[in-house]
A and B are shown apart, each in its own frame.
Chain A
Amino acid sequence: MSDPQITEDLIAAHGLKPDEYQRILGIIGREPSFTELGIFSAMWNEHCSYKSSKKWLRTLPTTGPQVICGPGENAGVVDIGDGQAVVFKMESHNHPSYIEPYQGAATGVGGILRDVFTMGARPIAAMNALSFGDLEHPKTRSLVSGVVSGVGGYGNCFGVPNVGGEVRFHPSYNGNCLVNAFAAGLADADAIFYSAASGVGMPVVYLGAKTGRDGVGGATMASAEFDDTIEEKRPTVQVGDPFTEKRLMEACLELMASGAVISIQDMGAAGLTCSAVEMGDKGDLGIRLDLDRVPCREPGMTAYEMMLSESQERMLMVLRPEKETEARAIFDKWDLDFAIVGETIPEDRFLIVHGGETKADLPLKALSGTAPEYDRPWVETPAAAPLGPVEEIDAIEGLKALIGSPNHARKSWVWEQYDHMVMGDTARAPGAGSGLVRVHGTDKTLAFTSDVSPRYVKANPYEGGKQAVAEAWRNLVATGAKPLAATDNLNFGNPEKPEIMGQLVGAIKGIGEACAALDFPIVSGNVSLYNETDGTGILPTPTIGGVGLIETAGRAIGTTPREGDVALVLGVTEGHLGQSALLWETARRAEGDAPRVDLAAEKAHGLFIRDNHATIRACTDLSDGGLALAAFEMAEGAGLGVEIGVTGTAALFGEDQGRYLIAADEESAALLEAAAGAAGLPLARVGRFGGDRVKLGDAEAPLAGLSDLYRTAFERALHLPDALAELAV
């Protein structure tokens, strides 16, 4: 079987624009081979090259005294004291999850876990931010069910606690759900592993699962007329194998501890190509690969297929040759494939040999270094029209609209399918703001949160970007944690449309501004573009994953008030209802501007919470649904009623930023008021926790009924059959 001819159609099928192809011709001075074309397309696609976003990503703050390694490696690395580091990243797996929800989500989780342990860190926490289409859309329910079981299926088996995340529904995701997977791991700060190869003639070693035709792209499908074995070559869905991944992690960590590893890179998208180029590029070396030695799952695989395969659970390493026997023994112990597939070479060259033939011979640096970079035209998102009149609503009815919606109902249906306790250090399960995981064997605790309000970002990308960062930061502060750093997972529509590009630019500017002001650098991230439903972009969704540190157990702030505790709000309430959850859930109105984020106030309020942790019994930030929803959730979590003496729809449901709800006993409340007075900060008593009724201004209802609605609405909205209930019948 000979390789297909390079034609315009074949080039287009590889996602390469005519000018990009000209650029290839300019770099290599000849027509590329089929394998070379595949390699260029893999390296220059948006996913690997960030060609549309790079210009703007560079503007983000990525450094700080706490940052050990910022963006550019598999994951960010941040110092947490005592010679330890937290390693984390968030990454999307949107399109695969829409096509095959279980495997798409599962392999998304697998990919992010691999990013973390590739750096030498043992994963200790995971989160998942999921966005689905309208519940009435015929595909939504099966996507929810499939994605959630996929996330659980992989993470549970691997054995990492899933401690947080988000689940939202909006029609803009009908044709394009979002699956953003976060993972964090723990490592010794002086034992972080990077991808840069070093030393000439060092063995390049392939580890893990065998290579199959998984995900070998649409491009081969599109060129099917060259080949009558189309059925055989149909691109297959990547299938995750968490059992292999778990063994791969244990083996990699053992191997790293043995001192055998010079550099390591996981094989993700276009696995062998991207990982090999990355290792060579960062180490200023060339790489020669002999594909005859690659462990294959199927017979007759071509060089093109091996170089583009997205088979999961694979790693590429450069090893110290003298440690080969030791390394091999570790992989034998874990029953994993281990093969020397190439070596580092001194010249700038990416040489691929298969069956005695040279299949690709390219300048290695040019593959990543000269990837196209676009300054795509963009237009600023026009200012949102002012919000029209909003009628006063009975506050209990408003609350019911929120807690009865799957967007704001309790999501235990989701997180009870995730093992959130494995590893024995989960100090706070999902469902109450940030998840908390203790640093094993120490007095420290890490806080994790993931946040974004896509409606805000759509209305005002700049303020929306700021808000996503500020909310993540607040969620960490509310636990008593010191926010350390963040990861950004930017999900947007088609960047070739100037208005979409404008959303991306605006959001990045806002994120950058907030991260700089709050000393909350972005240390890793991922960009997912071309997310559309019927030609219309999704709500712009720049998910921010935040990580904070509670230095000693005594500094943690709880989430549950006690009977008789005073409810206080820190921050200014003006009653901003534009783009609020209340308007959306009661009237499907997405109107007005996003709330403005005052970063100086954010910082001052956050500092106040942290300084006064000892006098605060429970704390949460105010976000979607404003004071009403926050007060209800805090009270409900403690099995208590609450009385909020604030009236008016705007004051109860407004989403002004920079605010926290605090519960404290009478004496502590007085201390807090004095402290706030001295600091000139706005802190107001708004009510009291206790009893068994929820009273919001003039409206009230028994807690029990509201609690039942809050705890069952998600499942009911999904119309998911409860097999256990059926059994009981």
Chain B
Amino acid sequence: MKARVQVMLKTGVLDPQGEAVRHALGALGFDGVEGVRQGKLIEIDLAGDDPEAAKRQVTEMCEKLLANTVIESYKIDLN
């Protein structure tokens, strides 16, 4: 089973890298870019096939290591 964890800065936390990308897009002539947020996508290959257990496990991974919940939120997709 594969888990995809998306880690983003929380809304309201300034994202300097996203801002830089937005700026660069504007400079390249892409109009109408109102906001850019940059995050991380982490793919995890898991043994086992119980989605509930996997979800619990990956949530714990996020809380302990993959995300810093002071500034980041995360979303887990399993398939």
Contacts and interface: CB of A to CB of B under 8 A. Distances in A.
Contacts of B19: 723
Contacts of A723: 16, 19-20, 23
Interface residues of B, number: 4
Nearest to B19: A723
A552 B23 CA distance: 51
5 contacts: A721-B23, A723-B16, A723-B19, A723-B20, A723-B23
Nearest to B14: A727
Interface residues of A, number: 2
B14 to A, nearest CB: 8
Interface string A670-684: 000000000000000
Interface in A115-147: none
In order of increasing CB-CB distance, the 5 nearest A-B pairs are A721-B23, A723-B16, A723-B20, A723-B19, A723-B23
B28 to A, nearest CB: 11
Interface of B: 16, 19-20, 23
A723 B18 CA distance: 12
Contacts of B16: 723
B25 to A, nearest CB: 13
Interface of A: 721, 723
A705 B57 CA distance: 62
B20 to A, nearest CB: 7
B58 to A, nearest CB: 24
A723 B17 CA distance: 10
A605 B19 CA distance: 54
A721 B26 CA distance: 12
Contacts of A721: 23
Contacts of B20: 723
Nearest to A142: B24
B54 to A, nearest CB: 26
A723 B16 CA distance: 8
Nearest to A721: B23
A721 B16 CA distance: 13
A721 B24 CA distance: 10
A723 B23 CA distance: 10
A141 to B, nearest CB: 10
A136 to B, nearest CB: 16
Contacts of B23: 721, 723
A580 B19 CA distance: 42
A723 B22 CA distance: 12
A723 B19 CA distance: 9
A721 B20 CA distance: 9
A453 B65 CA distance: 51
A258 B50 CA distance: 49
B2 to A, nearest CB: 19
B35 to A, nearest CB: 15
A134 B23 CA distance: 23
A106 B8 CA distance: 27
B6 to A, nearest CB: 23
B30 to A, nearest CB: 16
A723 B20 CA distance: 8
B51 to A, nearest CB: 29
B10 to A, nearest CB: 19
A317 to B, nearest CB: 34
A523 B19 CA distance: 47
